[in-house]
């Protein structure tokens, strides 16, 4: 199977040339420029995360992806992830089937529950219904993917009977399940016969091998055809290892310390950062270093796609652009060479 090399961003709000944080509207325009460059240098897919916070600019990924679709020709376009629990599955399907039409079949969707919960109170959902909301909405969404008319019933919305939903898909659209690392999440992907995207944001990637084995074994026992497996992890590429680490470190710390304050974690140290870069799931360094580390993860987990989250906290736009350029022109060809 041809390995796909992808990029992800949440539209992290970045520092401008004046040292101040950019307004979110400019960050969104920068993301479009980043995606256009990714298309030009041979990246296979770009995913935009959905968030509802002041440190991430993208709350409506499909709108930004539509702008990207109009300026690109080959790169596949999707999310990382769509928070289905606090959205309407019919509207999500309609937005993505529209994006698929605009992009001539390049749209994908990665569905998940997200690692942040701001969307629940924002859209009037109760966190006590966390599991039910996702399970029922995923059930409805997968039916929409596979038939032009849908019949469905559950507890979260009125039933549907032989309901057409437009625009219909001219061709099948790829849909992934985002998995954070629980057996229950893995089995959900198996149950709905969907590809699995593992979010590995810390620790050795090899510790996720049991989830890969469970997924493959359960798919075989269920009679499903083999499905792609992907990994989403953070990273940054610069000309040298030292330059990459020094560029990323203060912004990585700013991002993790802010989230840590919200969740009661201690501040991130440089030793932790270097340990993740050396042995964990942080792909930072020169093109050769990053390519070798990605190739090792692809082989260890039997991946079909590797997605690097190239944005990290307020890391400036010009450095993100250089990272994308090196990823496409040097990291991807070298990783393919190693894997071959």
Domains of the chain are: 4-339 (3.20.20.30)
pLDDT value of position 1: 60
Q: What is the distance between the alpha carbons of residues 215 and 217, in angstroms, rounded to a whole number? A: 6
Q: Is 209 helix (H, G, I), strand (E, B) or coil?
A: helix
pLDDT band at 180 (very low <50, low <70, confident <90, very high): confident
Q: What are phi and psi of 96, to 5 degrees?
A: -80, -30
β partners of residue 83: 112
pLDDT at 286 over 70: yes
pLDDT band at 114 (very low <50, low <70, confident <90, very high): confident
pLDDT at 181 over 90: no
Count Cα neighbours of 42 within 13 Å in the Cβ-side half-sphere.
Answer: 12
Radius of gyration of the chain (CA): 19
Name the least confident of 7-11, 55-59, 114-118, 219-223: 114-118
Q: What is the mean pLDDT of residues 113-125?
A: 92
Q: What is the mean pLDDT of residues 161-188?
A: 94
pLDDT at 115 over 90: no
β partners of residue 233: 308
CB 59 within 8 Å of CB 37 = no
Q: Give the pTM.
A: 0.97
pLDDT value of position 333: 98
**For residue 250, what is the enclosing H or E element?**
helix 241-263
CB 101 within 8 Å of CB 66 = no
Q: Which of 144, 199, 208, 153 is nearest to 177 (CA)?
A: 199
pLDDT band at 126 (very low <50, low <70, confident <90, very high): very high
pLDDT at 108 over 70: yes
Q: What is the distance between the alpha carbons of residues 49 and 75, in angstroms, rounded to a whole number? A: 17
Place of tokens 């000309």: 239
Structure tokens at 173: 């659209």
pLDDT band at 77 (very low <50, low <70, confident <90, very high): very high
Q: What is the distance between the alpha carbons of residues 240 and 287, in angstroms, rounded to a whole number? A: 8
CB atoms within 10 A of CB 278: 11
Q: What crossing angle do the helices spanning 61-71 and 24-40 adopt, rounded to 10°?
A: 40
- Write down how long the chain is: 340
């Amino acid at each position: 199977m041809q390995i796909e090399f992808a990029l992800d961003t949440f539209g992290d709000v970045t520092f401008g040339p004046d040292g101040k944080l950019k307004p979110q509207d400019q960050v969104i325009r920068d993301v479009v420029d980043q995606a256009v460059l990714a298309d030009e240098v041979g990246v296979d897919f770009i995913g935009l995360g959905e968030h509802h916070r002041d440190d991430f600019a993208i709350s409506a990924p499909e709108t930004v992806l539509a702008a990207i679709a109009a300026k690109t020709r080959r790169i596949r376009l999707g999310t990382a992830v769509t928070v289905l629990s606090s959205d309407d599955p019919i509207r999500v399907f309609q937005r993505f089937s529209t994006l698929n039409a605009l992009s001539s079949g390049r749209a994908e969707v990665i569905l998940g529950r997200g690692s942040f919960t701001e969307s629940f109170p924002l859209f009037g959902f109760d966190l006590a219904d966390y599991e039910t909301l996702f399970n029922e909405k995923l059930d409805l969404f997968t039916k929409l993917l596979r038939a032009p008319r849908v019949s469905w019933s559950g507890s979260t919305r009125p039933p549907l009977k032989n309901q057409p939903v437009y625009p219909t898909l001219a061709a099948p659209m790829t849909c992934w399940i985002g998995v954070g690392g629980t057996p229950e999440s893995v089995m959900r992907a198996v149950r709905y016969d969907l590809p699995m995207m593992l979010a590995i944001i810390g620790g050795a990637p090899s510790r996720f091998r049991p989830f890969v084995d469970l997924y493959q074994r359960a798919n075989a026992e269920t009679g499903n055809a083999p499905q792609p497996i992907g990994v989403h992890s953070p990273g940054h590429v610069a000309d040298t290892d030292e330059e990459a680490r020094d560029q990323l470190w203060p912004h990585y710390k700013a991002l993790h310390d802010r989230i840590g304050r919200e969740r009661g974690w201690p501040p991130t140290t440089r030793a932790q950062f270097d340990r993740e870069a050396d042995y964990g799931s942080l792909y930072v360094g020169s093109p050769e270093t990053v390519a070798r580390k990605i190739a090792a993860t692809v082989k260890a987990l039997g991946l079909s796609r590797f997605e690097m989250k190239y944005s990290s906290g307020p890391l400036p736009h010009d450095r993100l652009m250089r990272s994308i350029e090196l990823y496409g022109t040097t990291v991807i060809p070298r990783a393919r060479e190693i894997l071959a």
